[in-house]
Amino acid sequence: MTQLEKNQTVTVTIDDLTYEGLGVAHIERFPLFIENALPGEEAEVLVVKVGKKFGYGKVLKLLKESPDRVPSADQNLLRSGIAPLSHLTYAKQLAFKQTQVEKVMQKVAQLPDVPVLPTIGMADPIGYRNKAQIPVRRVNGEIMTGFYRKNSHDLLPIENYLIQDPAIDQAIIVIRDILRRFNLKTYNEVDNTGLLRHLIVRRGHYSHEMMVVLVTRTEKFFKGEEIAKEIQKALPEVVSVMQNVNPEKTNVILGKVTKKLAGKETIEDQLLGKTYQISAESFYQINTEQAEKLYQTAIDFAKLTKENVVIDAYSGIGTIALSLADQVKHVYGMDVVKSAVADAQQNAERNHVENATFEVGKAEIVMPRWNKVGIKADVIVVDPPRKGLAESFITASVEVTPEKIIYISCNPATLARDLKLYQELGYTTEKIQPVDLFPQTTHVEAVALLKKAVD
């Protein structure tokens, strides 16, 4: 048991970074997690919380700075969690992400010999997000846009978000000023009152088409269409202004009802040469430039031929399936979200892709059925959500007996867990390529190549 107490001041040396980007110091082997602290730094720290197994501290004074520190980092971006690694040089961020994947491969997958390649980064690792979701609140009586302080609902007014497309940052300021002119009531989450909850802005990386979504608590939106026209007048790139209605007392941003206020209902953008329609609710990769590298890595790992049949098991609006369709005999995709499958089918038509089939359903149910009617996949591509793959899916995918499985992951811990099970079922992980889709944050995506073990 540690002798540390809350509100005690201690001098520590930081010896590691957690997967969340917190500095770690050990006092008599007791770990203290500290925000805005980097390995090798010495700091005077205030102990703010002490638990049974670990505690939390706050830097009062840096006594020795790391050469890897970016001294100009905006403290609000660290405090809000928007850019929790922005105080670390980009080269070290990439190394940190490679290490995160290596650690889980050793500890969780127990596959320490699988090569984890150096993280693929960006030449310019800022201004990459093609979508912003910003709370709108009143601060000292004035309508403000910004982001919440971590672990709180105190809004920090922010104008430069560092990681968002600068055109989106500028649009947020313009829209905020329009909202001030109309003096709208903003949402009060304590008693679930007020009107305007969030502002969402999407911008096509290549098309530069912009969509604005105003998330309101009630469907009744006095002067909503007038506001939409003012937004379009001030921002010529805005081709779509939508209203989303979310009456619930919840942290979930979007509600179930979306209606058009002005312009089109969707915007278009390109990914690996294919064109996609993006709606207010569509899942679309946040970082277009890096998503292209991620998908290209998956395609390269698969070494596809014109004789191959591929299954894309979490096909969404079809971005992966359609990216590789030109190189294979046929690609089959499935998804549990009906609207996503409809979007995928429309995207196939839009891009004149005739060798892609999309179906609604759970992959672990659809794949065996396809297998029975003679659809034999040479390659299965999976791109699951953060929770990873269900065990039932892993078993079903192995029963299809593909030569290769390409696993695209947004969570190294669940990737490692799933690779361990695949290993037990006869699929060996050949290599893993981390790709940095979210520079300045702790998130890391990775592509793993699995091959069927030779009997």
- Catalytic site residues? 410
Give me the DSSP letters along 95-158: HHHHHHHHHHHHHTS--TTS-BPPPB--SS-SS-BSEEEEEEEEETTEEEEEEEPTTS--EEE-
- Residue 165's φ and ψ, nearest 5 degrees, are -45, 125
| Long-range contacts from 104-110, C-beta under 8 angstroms, 24+ separation | 104/412, 104/413, 104/415, 104/416, 105/416, 105/419, 105/432, 107/416, 108/413, 108/416, 108/417, 108/420, 109/416, 109/417, 109/419, 109/420, 109/423, 109/429, 110/420
DSSP 354: -
Between CA 372 and CA 334 the distance in angstroms is 16
SS3 171: helix
List % helix, strand, coil for the chain (3-state, nearest 5).
Answer: 25, 30, 40
The angle formed by the CA atoms of residues 445, 446 and 451, to the nearest 5 degrees, is 155
Amino acid at 227: I
Q: Which residue in the block uniquely carries the two structure tokens 């891009």?
A: 351
Between CA 251 and CA 200 the distance in angstroms is 15
Please, are residues 36 and 62 in contact by the beta-carbon 8 Å criterion?
A: no
Nearest in space to 21 (alpha carbons), one of 432, 438, 448: 438
